[in-house]
């Protein structure tokens, strides 16, 4: 079932009255989660809590109108907030008003980038970030979040920007820990974590903060509180920044757009897969862009989605984006009458909310699974994590993407290859490490499992030469199994032609087997087929081998193995 926006569900008649109750319940639950998260994530981004509410109140209705995921919990999110903050703080010069304008500008740039990408159907860009990059990135973000809240959580005077330096300051200043502040932070965090484990559908952050407020007021505990919050309703306003600021912020905006959209689409797809509908990647780009552009003009900052605010509606039974409209109404109503309550929230409690978010995104299990499958990919995940923590989020992601490309290029340039033997009792040819493989003197069947292109053409030639040396007997025929060669470029054509000339000069008959139509067409146009002879191109390995046996019937089969393993 294709994903539809809320208006499309209504117009098509697919929305059912029985969905109203679970949608309303899910919307109210998410509203209870969103209120403390919007405040905490705005503060994480260096903005007042009102910015978080303005951003959320714009994102919710826009996504409901345009988005194709029925459960995605859009709005303030820690990763995009801290990534944008790292860029804005460098230009703000300590001016809060200018800083807010710069954050709104980044949101606007993210919106424009995503809208253009959606128009040109660039939804596939989410695939650019591999699993190791995502695991390393999100874990790096989680650890950065933890260090960013050490001051508010413990009362220790920490003023460093780098996470490693923050930890160093914390360790050397443990004597500054404020007991009441730490007690409020720890108790709030415990409530959130316990409820997350045993009552995941309950608004743990809201319950934890409510308990912290009651405890602080009842015991007259002296801790720092949030303070006055304005009504925070969205207002139409274009950020007032210079063109030079826009160009300076553009690289960061590209990074935020890539990370934010990837987070959206991965979360949306993971939920939709179990709910029986599909998500349209290009329309998700449009929805993501529209909500960020609107957020820019309403005093907000870059937004994405929250995994917790996405999975909870699905577990409650929500069936459509109507839950987002309910969340919008509930949060707006609360802000009109409840800002005086929000002012009494302890800062340590908000820090606990961010701590809980950090614990949720640190993916140790992801590291373990990747390490069990591939050491090189595990190293990539670790490098990404360390780059995100030690340098900055955007640089860390760019470094990781670059390393991913190099790792992929290395694999393609040096793919798996094999000498093949006839499978005893099997109607086919198998790799020689299998005991059932029988080799025949005078014949080499060689398979290369990757595209032939400029980066591996010479490597391919070297591997064929080595295979001939390793194979028993004096070769009179070489069959190149082309099934694994999906494409060939002009550089590789030259290498292949040189190899054929070399082998034919040594009296070896060269044949091709199982080449796909695209590859065969290119080799024909390049003159390779003419050099081989059209009768040297076969649809199967068996056909090529039968031709060899007709030409050289006296060669016996051999059970010997090549002197070196050909499965690297």
Residues 426-439, mean pLDDT to the nearest whole number: 88
Predicted local confidence at residue 267, as pLDDT: 81
% of residues, the chain, pLDDT over 70:
94
Residue 350 shares a structural domain with residue 430: no
Predicted local confidence at residue 516, as pLDDT: 96
Instruction: Name 418's bridge partners.
Output: 447
Q: Which residue would you say has higher pLDDT here, 328 or 337? A: 328
pLDDT band at 167 (very low <50, low <70, confident <90, very high): very high
Q: How many residues does the chain have?
A: 568
Residue 389 shares a structural domain with residue 422: no
pLDDT of 66 > 80? The answer is yes
Q: Which helix (H) or strand (E) holds 173?
A: none
Residue 475 shares a structural domain with residue 541: yes
Q: Is 459 helix (H, G, I), strand (E, B) or coil?
A: helix
Residues 367-374, mean pLDDT to the nearest whole number: 92
Residue 402 shares a structural domain with residue 426: no
Residues 76-97, mean pLDDT to the nearest whole number: 89
Predicted local confidence at residue 564, as pLDDT: 46
pLDDT of 122 > 80? The answer is yes
Residue 378 shares a structural domain with residue 480: no
Alpha carbon distance, N-terminus to C-terminus of the chain = 43
Residues 134-150, mean pLDDT to the nearest whole number: 82
Predicted local confidence at residue 555, as pLDDT: 55
% of residues, the chain, pLDDT over 90:
51
Q: Is residue 311 part of a domain?
A: yes
Residue 173: what are its φ and ψ, rounded to 5°? -125, 30
Residue 272 shares a structural domain with residue 160: yes
Is the dihedral angle over the CA atoms 231, 237, 243, 248 positive or is it negative? positive
pLDDT of 128 > 60? The answer is yes
Q: Is residue 563 part of a domain?
A: no
Range of the domain at 506: 417-558
Rounded to whole angstroms, the Cα distance separating 212 from 182 reads 12
Predicted local confidence at residue 428, as pLDDT: 86
Q: Which helix (H) or strand (E) holds 251?
A: helix 243-272
pLDDT of 210 > 80? The answer is yes
Q: Is residue 424 part of a domain?
A: yes
Least confident of 220-234, 283-297, 376-390: 220-234
Residue 359 shares a structural domain with residue 435: no
Contact 328, 60 (CB under 8 A): yes
Give residue-wise pLDDT tens across range 168-193.
999 999 999 999 999 999 999 999 99
pLDDT band at 474 (very low <50, low <70, confident <90, very high): confident
For residue 483, give the DSSP letter.
Answer: T
Q: Is residue 500 part of a domain?
A: yes
Residue 377 shares a structural domain with residue 498: no
pLDDT band at 399 (very low <50, low <70, confident <90, very high): confident
Q: Which residue would you say has higher pLDDT here, 230 or 406? A: 406
Rounded to whole angstroms, the Cα distance separating 38 from 267 reads 19
Q: Is residue 402 part of a domain?
A: yes
Predicted local confidence at residue 490, as pLDDT: 95
Average pLDDT, the chain: 87
pLDDT band at 360 (very low <50, low <70, confident <90, very high): confident
Q: Which residue would you say has higher pLDDT here, 429 or 403? A: 429
Number of domains in the chain: 2
Residue 442 shares a structural domain with residue 353: no
pLDDT band at 6 (very low <50, low <70, confident <90, very high): very high
Closest CA to 338 of 22, 49, 96, 81: 49
Predicted local confidence at residue 557, as pLDDT: 53
pLDDT of 565 > 70? The answer is no
User: Which of residues 408, 430, 459 is at a domain's end?
Assistant: 408
Residues 156-167, mean pLDDT to the nearest whole number: 87
Q: Is residue 143 part of a domain?
A: yes
Helix residue ranges per DSSP H, 424-527: 457-470, 490-505, 517-525
User: Which of residues 386, 408, 430 is at a domain's end?
Assistant: 408
pLDDT band at 556 (very low <50, low <70, confident <90, very high): low
pLDDT of 561 > 80? The answer is no
Predicted local confidence at residue 132, as pLDDT: 85
Residue 565: what are its φ and ψ, rounded to 5°? -70, 135
Query: In the chain, how long is the greatest CA-to-CA distance?
Result: 100
Q: Is residue 386 part of a domain?
A: yes
Least confident of 321-330, 347-356, 517-526: 347-356
User: Which of residues 359, 386, 408 is at a domain's end?
Assistant: 408
Q: Which residue would you say has higher pLDDT here, 301 or 241? A: 301
Q: Which residue would you say has higher pLDDT here, 340 or 2? A: 340
Residues 17-21, mean pLDDT to the nearest whole number: 91
Residues 81-98, mean pLDDT to the nearest whole number: 90
Residue 362 shares a structural domain with residue 511: no
Residue 338 shares a structural domain with residue 397: yes
Predicted local confidence at residue 559, as pLDDT: 53
pLDDT of 566 > 70? The answer is no
Closest CA to 261 of 86, 359, 392, 127: 127
Place of tokens 């290009």: 282
Q: Is residue 566 part of a domain?
A: no
Contact 350, 78 (CB under 8 A): no
pLDDT band at 1 (very low <50, low <70, confident <90, very high): low
Residue 131 shares a structural domain with residue 265: yes
pLDDT of 492 > 60? The answer is yes
pLDDT of 432 > 80? The answer is yes
Tell me the C-alpha to C-alpha distance, in Å, between residue 111 and each of 236, 238, 290, 315. 16, 13, 6, 30
Predicted local confidence at residue 323, as pLDDT: 94
CATH of residue 487: 3.30.750.24
């Amino acid at each position: 079932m294709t994903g539809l926006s809320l208006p499309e569900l209504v117009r098509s008649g697919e929305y059912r009255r029985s969905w109203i109750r679970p949608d309303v319940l899910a919307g109210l639950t998410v509203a209870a989660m969103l209120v403390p998260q919007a405040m905490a994530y705005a503060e994480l981004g260096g903005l007042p809590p009102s910015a978080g509410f303005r951003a959320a109140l714009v994102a919710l209705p826009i996504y409901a109108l345009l988005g194709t995921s029925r459960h995605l919990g859009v709005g303030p999110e820690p990763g995009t907030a801290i990534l944008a903050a790292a860029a804005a703080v460098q230009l703000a010069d300590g001016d809060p008003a200018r800083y807010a304008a710069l954050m709104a500008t980044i949101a606007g740039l993210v919106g424009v980038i995503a809208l253009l990408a959606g128009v040109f159907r660039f939804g596939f860009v989410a695939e650019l970030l591999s699993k190791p990059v995502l695991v390393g990135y999100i874990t790096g973000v989680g650890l950065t979040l933890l260090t960013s809240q050490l001051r508010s959580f413990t009362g220790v005077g920490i003023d460093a920007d780098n996470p490693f330096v923050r930890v160093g300051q914390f360790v050397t200043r443990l004597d500054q820990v404020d007991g009441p502040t730490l007690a409020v932070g720890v108790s709030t965090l415990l409530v959130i974590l316990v409820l997350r484990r045993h009552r995941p559908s309950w608004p743990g952050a809201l319950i934890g903060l409510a308990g912290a407020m009651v405890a602080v007021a009842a015991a007259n505990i002296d801790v720092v509180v949030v303070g006055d919050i304005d009504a925070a309703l969205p207002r139409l306003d274009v950020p007032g920044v210079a063109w030079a600021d826009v160009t300076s912020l553009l690289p960061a905006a590209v990074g935020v757009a890539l990370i934010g959209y990837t987070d959206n689409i991965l979360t949306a797809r993971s939920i939709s897969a179990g709910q029986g509908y599909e998500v349209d990647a290009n329309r998700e780009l449009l929805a993501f862009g529209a909500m960020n552009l609107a957020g820019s003009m309403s005093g907000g900052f870059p937004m994405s989605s929250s995994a917790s605010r996405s999975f909870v509606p699905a577990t409650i039974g929500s069936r459509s984006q109507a839950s987002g409209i309910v969340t919008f109404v509930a949060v707006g109503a609360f802000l009109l009458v409840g800002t005086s309550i929000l002012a009494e929230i302890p800062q340590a409690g908000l820090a606990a909310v961010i701590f809980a978010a950090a614990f949720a995104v640190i993916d140790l299990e992801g590291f373990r699974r990747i390490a069990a499958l591939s050491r090189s990919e595990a190293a990539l995940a670790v490098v990404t994590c360390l780059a995100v923590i030690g340098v900055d989020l955007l640089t860390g992601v760019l470094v990781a993407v670059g390393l991913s490309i190099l790792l992929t290029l290395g694999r393609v340039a040096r793919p798996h290859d094999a000498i093949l033997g006839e499978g005893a009792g099997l109607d086919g040819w198998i790799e020689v490490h299998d005991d059932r493989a029988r080799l025949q003197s005078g014949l080499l069947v060689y398979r290369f499992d990757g595209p032939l292109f400029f980066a591996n053409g010479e490597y391919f030639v070297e591997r064929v030469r080595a295979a001939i040396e390793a194979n028993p007997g004096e070769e009179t025929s070489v069959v190149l199994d082309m099934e694994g060669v999906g494409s060939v470029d002009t550089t590789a054509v030259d290498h292949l032609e040189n190899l054929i000339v070399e082998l034919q000069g040594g009296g070896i008959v060269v044949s091709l087997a199982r080449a796909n139509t695209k590859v065969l067409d290119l080799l024909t146009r390049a003159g390779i087929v003419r050099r081989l002879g059209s009768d040297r191109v076969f649809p199967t390995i068996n056909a090529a081998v039968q031709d060899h046996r007709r030409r050289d019937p006296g060669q016996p089969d051999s059970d010997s193995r090549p002197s070196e393993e050909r499965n690297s």
